[in-house]
Amino acid sequence: MSRGNDKYRPKIVVIDDDEATRLSLEQMLKLRGYGCETFISAEAALAWPGLPDVDSIIVDVKMPGMDGEEFLSEIIRRNYPPPLIMITGHGDVSMAVRCLKTGAYDFVEKPFEDDVLLASVARACEKTSLKREGDELRRRLNMYTAAGEERFGMVGRCRIMQDVFEQIEVAAKTDLPVLIIGETGTGKELVARAIHSLSSRSKGPFIAVNAGALPENLLESELFGHARGAFTGADKARDGKLVTASGGTLLLDEVESISAAAQVKLLRVLEDGLVYPLGKDEPQRVNIRLLATTKINLQELVRDGIMRRDFYHRIFVFSIMVPPLRDRAEDIPLLIPHFIKLSAGRNNMPVPEVPERILETMLRFPWPGNVRQLKHTIEKMVITSSNRVIGNFSEDIDFDSSRLLSLPVTPGRLKNELEKTEKAVIEQVLRENSGEINLTAQTLGISRRALYERMKKYNLPKEHFRN
């Protein structure tokens, strides 16, 4: 049994108040290659922090203090995973049945043959091993979602999105302002949230303000706060978003909508960390990291005198371009099943099938509203699905066939993309298990026959994966 490439010795915990039994079991287990920890009581074992990570637990039923049955209940309450083997010399069949129904893995009666207990321990350790491998597979499959290219809540296999992911990681290592540029619906806020979550400010607040949705006077109040009576309707003092975001990140969406007066005030905040609320003379000190988004070329606003040049250079220290969906069309086959699955889960519905003709049309559609439009369209299609077949695409949005993308779309394109993913996962698990068919099939959760069929389909002979 192994974890990765390192030899792994399964660890067993033995709990028994009888010293001779503890020592005997410890010696027997170590001679068979197991690691072993022994405890005189259930209470002592529960106090050991390594208990949840062992491969199996052997516990005597009759002990002073907490007995084996009570220990079983506590293990279940704590949701500890190791299989529990219970031993007793009292031959209580009704108790054995009760414990097995409660969740014990096995029940061995004293006096027992060593081989009987060792066989039970081996099965329990195998169960733990398979569970760990299954958990690792689920973790890996989550990473493999959309061919392993889902990161920061965004899906993208294409080179341009991989560049975006790399830029996010670089930006997160600094505390500099970042300007995120992209069309509406491309996922600029997701980029901002990813930068925040990876940064040293991740435990601080993330506050988003849509500058384009607020009139100039309300925007300044929203950002900087105001004193009571600062303007009509200001019946009480209020902290602005800059104060609320202190210690974290402020996202200024549609930064091109910021007035010249607000630009000057923001410059002061960025340079000296001082916020002057409307109607107050005394400033408040803040510590924020500014992220801004825009869908237009800010240099044109600078040339037209709408945006201050010093403000532009202050926020344009580091920039990330988020591509429109039409420039990353190869990601559409990944995004479609991704959003279908998410939508079906949100609406507590079975995942519907997608007819090939609908897929072909969706793959060629230009998606002027970008990923947001694709996501919302799929939401509607899932909700209107019937007999586990997704709703009609052309009925859900304004469809103009003249705007179809000129992509090399062929029947079965989505199927081909998904098969690439399946092949990659099977190949990876075969490699990790050195081509061992039983373990690979168990890890993948499919039958041996299904695994052989897929290996034949993808030309993956097991001999290629043997060490």
Cα–Cα distance for residue pair 258/217, rounded to 1 Å: 11
Q: What is the DSSP string of 151-220?
A: ETTEE--SHHHHHHHHHHHHHHTS-S-EEEE--TTS-HHHHHHHHHHHSTTTTS-EEEEEGGGS-HHHHH
Residue 336 has pLDDT above 70, yes or no: yes
Q: Residue 167: what pLDDT?
A: 94
In this structure, the strands spanning 249-253 and 106-109 are unpaired
3-state secondary structure 240-271: CHHHHCCCCEEEEECHHHCCHHHHHHHHHHHH
Q: At what angle do helices 448-457 and 413-432 cross, to 10 degrees?
A: 120
Confidence of residue 2 (pLDDT cuts 50, 70, 90): very low
In terms of average pLDDT, the best of 10-14, 152-156, 264-268, 280-284 is 10-14
Bridge pairing between strands 318-321 and 274-275: unpaired
Residue 179's beta-bridge partner residues?
Answer: 292, 319
Mean pLDDT score across all residues of the chain: 83
Asked which of 35-44, 136-145, 356-365, 443-452 is least confident by mean pLDDT, the reply is: 136-145
Distances (CA, A) of 220 to 246, 278, 288, 384: 17, 8, 17, 43
Confidence check: pLDDT of 422 > 80: no
CA distance 161 to 430: 29
**Which of the four pLDDT bands, split at 50, 70 and 90, describes residue 226?**
low
Predicted pLDDT of residue 74: 92
**pLDDT at residue 201 is higher than 90:** yes
Whole-angstrom CA distances from 303 to 266, 298, 306, 308, 316 are: 20, 9, 8, 9, 15
| Per-residue pLDDT at 332 | 86
pLDDT at 231: 62
Amino acid at 400: D
Of the two residues 282 and 290, the one the predictor is more confident about is 290
For the cut 90, the answer to whether the pLDDT of residue 191 exceeds it is: yes
Q: How far is CA 322 from the centre of its chain?
A: 21
User: How far is Cα 362 from Cα 21, in angstroms, rounded to an integer?
Assistant: 68
In sequence order, the 6+-apart residues with CB closer than 8 A to the CB of 431 are 465
pLDDT of residue 230: 58
Q: Is residue 100 predicted with pLDDT exceeding 80? A: yes
Secondary element (H or E) of residue 7:
strand 6-7
Q: Which of 169, 233, 160, 158 is nearest to 196 (CA)?
A: 169
273 CB-near residues (< 8 Å, 6+ apart): 285, 286, 287
The upper half-sphere exposure of residue 237, i.e. CA atoms within 13 Å in the direction of its Cβ, equals 7
- Rounded to two decimals, the pTM is 0.56
Query: pLDDT tier at 440 (50, 70, 90 boundaries)?
Result: confident
Q: Could you tell me which residue, 329 or 92, shows the higher pLDDT?
A: 329
pLDDT of 235: 66
pLDDT-based confidence at residue 134 (cuts at 50, 70, 90) = low
Q: Which two tokens stand for residue 333?
A: 């086959």
What is the structure's pLDDT at 405?
Answer: 56
Q: What is the mean pLDDT of residues 242-265?
A: 91
User: Is the pLDDT at 396 greater than 50, yes or no?
Assistant: no
Q: Which of 133, 132, 131, 117 is nearest to 32 (CA)?
A: 117
Q: Give the CA-trace dihedral at 434, 437, 438, 442, to 10 degrees.
A: 90
For 135-146, the pLDDT digits (tens) are 665 454 444 444
d(CA 239, CA 205): 15
Q: How confident is the model at residue 158 (pLDDT cuts 50, 70, 90)?
A: confident
The region of weakest confidence among 117-126, 130-139, 305-314, 422-431 is 130-139
pLDDT > 70: percent of the chain = 85
Q: How far apart are CA 85 and CA 72, in angstroms?
A: 10
